[in-house]
Amino acid sequence: MLFSSISFIYYFLPLVFLIYFAVPAKFKNLVLLISSLGFYFFGEPRYTIILLFSTVVDYTHSLIIDKKRGTPAAKYALISSIVLNLSILGFFKYSDFFIGNINALFSTNFSLLQLPLPLGISFFTFQTMSYTIDVYRNEASIQKNPLGLATYITLFPQLVAGPIVRYRTIAEEINERTHSFDLFAYGVRRFVIGLAKKVLIANQLGELYQITCSANSSSILFYWMGAIAFSLQIYFDFSGYSDMAIGLGRIFGFHFLENFNYPYVSKSISEFWRRWHISLGTWFKDYLYIPLGGNRGSNLNWFRNIFIVWFLTGFWHGANWNFIIWGLYFGIILMLEKAILNRLLQQLPKSVQHLYVLFIVVIGFVIFNNENLHTIGLTLQGMFGLLKIPILNAEAVYYLRSYAIIILIAIIGATPVMKNLIHWGIKHNKSEKLINGLEPVFLLSLLLLVTGYLVDSSFNPFLYFRF
């Protein structure tokens, strides 16, 4: 069940809200747990048992860690928990990848398992692992109530596509949280804006990308339009989903951390990755990069750690070589920045620094979005004029004109320009009353527009569900 679907917005959510706010506080977690399991079962009935099994694994192992704290048994329990979680993830997500590569390398003919990927398994596996690791490190208090831990792990606003919410972030709110009209209003506003980003911008850009892929004739302009459209689509798709998750969390009294912070305004790739998918980046930093040694020690060790982290970051996204290449591509660029490029970039105008980041990121998303290595090469050749195609053609110009407004809106929306203007107006007392008065009308109009689009269109993908 997509957040951006009629069934979720007008059937599932109102029913959950009605029951949740009607029951006493002691039953609210139970309502969330049942709702979340129902939400997951609706999208993945066969694999709901895996979600429950993962919850039981980390609940029991955390109890052992807490009881045997400071002894070898606690360490063995942690290792057991990590191995079980990664084994489940590895079996369902990577079995065919390894079988296929073994067949290719040794000319064997082992049958692929062709297992459907459990919805959100990459996200909830990292989430459950972070809980057990934090309990072992004594950085999170243990949750002895199985209902409390199950509510945290299965919480539907962030269950299938993040952000990856660590238990220590919302530990106190699991047991006791505040509900208010202000929190509800903020949550609704954030949800509707995220929904609009997804449906009105990301979906339109997705349609443009599909057009560039199936065009009758091609040109350099078409290749660049496709690459830029996808780069903007994935940002509005994923950040819109994160906005919806954060908004829903706030309605239920949870304060999830931000997952995106206008990454396309970055002046270096290092900065870009501090602003993009923040919850995943901090997860790898805290649970892999720093334990490996981080930037301590020699440059060789430092670069080794970056290589490992970015190899696994790419592999986390998907069981295909293009994701590994994509991860290593950014890992190498980050090494180069730390070794040489940062000093050079700081001497350049900010506009050049921004263009450098945008160029690197767009090329990166070409790698990310094409599972076939031949297609990656063909696309890059087309973008850089290495194919026998014109710079532009009539079809490309037509679609550029047709989608010019949505591209412009997307470019502006990917920067904090509008946000800063609103804050400036409120700070200088020039528009606060006007903004407060118009906001409900604006949000209702957005919701009606989104609804009309969803009723009329069948094109409503969500890119990160495949991860």
Same domain, 194 and 161: no
Given a cut of 90, is residue 87 above it in pLDDT?
yes
Residues 12-31 have a mean pLDDT of 95
Q: Do 170 and 65 share a domain, yes or no?
A: yes
The answer as to whether 438 is a domain residue is yes
Residues 285 and 387 in one domain: yes
Residue 1 lies in a domain: no
Residue 271 maps to a domain:
yes
Q: What is the pTM of this model?
A: 0.93
Out of 99-103, 215-219, 427-431, pick the least confident. Answer: 427-431
238 lies in the same domain as 334: yes
Contact indicator for 204, 257 with CB cutoff of 8 Å = no
Q: Which amino acid is at 399?
A: Y
Chain-centre distance for alpha carbon 443: 24
Q: What is the pLDDT of residue 466?
A: 55
Is pLDDT at 239 greater than 80 in this prediction? yes
DSSP per-residue string spanning 268-304:
SHHHHHHHSSHHHHHHHIIIIIHHHTTT-S-HHHHHH
The answer on 230 and 172 residing in a single domain is no
- Average pLDDT over the chain reads 91
d(CA 83, CA 79) in angstroms, rounded, equals 6
pLDDT of res. 214? 84
Give the catalytic positions in this structure. 317
Q: Is the pLDDT of residue 426 over 90?
A: no
Token code pair at residue 69:
């704290």
Residue 52: inside a domain: yes
Which of 158, 177, 196 is the C-terminal boundary of a domain?
A: 177
In this structure, what token pair is assigned to residue 456? 């009329």
Instruction: Give the number of domains in the chain.
Output: 2
63-72, 289-298, 356-365, 405-414: which has the minimum mean pLDDT?
A: 289-298
Q: How far is residue 163 from each of residues 12, 172, 234, 245, 363, measured CA to CA in Å?
A: 21, 18, 15, 8, 25
Q: For residue 456, what pLDDT is reported?
A: 79
What confidence category does residue 435 fall into, taking pLDDT thresholds of 50, 70 and 90?
low
pLDDT-derived band at 371, boundaries 50, 70, 90: confident
Residue 433 pLDDT greater than 70, yes or no: no
Is residue 2 pLDDT above 90, yes or no?
no
Contact residues for 149 (Cβ-Cβ < 8 A; gap 6+): 55, 58, 59, 62, 131, 143, 167
Are residues 146 and 212 both part of a single domain? no
Residue where one domain finishes, among candidates 177, 202, 224 = 177
Looking at residue 217, its pLDDT comes to: 78
What mean pLDDT do residues 252-261 have?
95
Same domain, 134 and 156: yes
In the prediction, which pLDDT does 440 show?
A: 87
Task: Examine the domain organization and report whether 286 and 321 are in the same domain.
Answer: yes
The candidate with the shortest Cα–Cα distance to 293, out of 282, 306, 281, is 306
Distance CA 350, CA 99 (A): 47
Domain of 370? 183-466
The answer to whether residue 70 is domain-embedded is: yes
| Spatial contact of 462 and 241, defined as CB atoms under 8 Å apart | yes
Residue 446 vs residues 418, 426, 439, 442: alpha-carbon distances, Å: 16, 22, 10, 6
Residues 6+ away with beta carbon under 8 Å from 205: 229, 230, 232, 233, 236, 403, 406, 407, 410
C-alpha–C-alpha distance, residues 350 and 372, integer Å: 35
Same domain, 203 and 343: yes
Q: Is residue 306 part of a domain?
A: yes
Quick: pLDDT tens for 332-349.
999 999 889 888 988 899
pLDDT in tens, 36-84: 999 999 888 889 999 999 999 999 999 999 999 989 999 999 999 999 9
188 and 258 belong to one structural domain? yes
d(CA 134, CA 127): 11
Q: Residue 385: inside a domain, yes or no?
A: yes
Within a domain: 81? yes
Task: Indicate the pLDDT class of residue 467, thresholds 50, 70 and 90.
Answer: low
CA dist 203 and 462 (Å) reads 9
Residues listed for the chain = 467
CA distance 81 to 128: 9
Q: Are residues 375 and 268 in the same domain?
A: yes
pLDDT tens column, 212-227:
988 777 899 999 999 9
Element (H, E) at 239: helix 220-251
- Condensed to tens digits (0 to 9), the pLDDT of residues 131-163 reads 999 999 999 889 999 999 999 999 999 988 879
Phi-psi region of 167 (alpha: psi -120 to 50; beta: other; left: phi over 0): alpha
The pLDDT of residue 419 is above 90: no
Residues 282 and 419 in one domain: yes
Choosing from 177, 212, 230, the residue where a domain stops is: 177
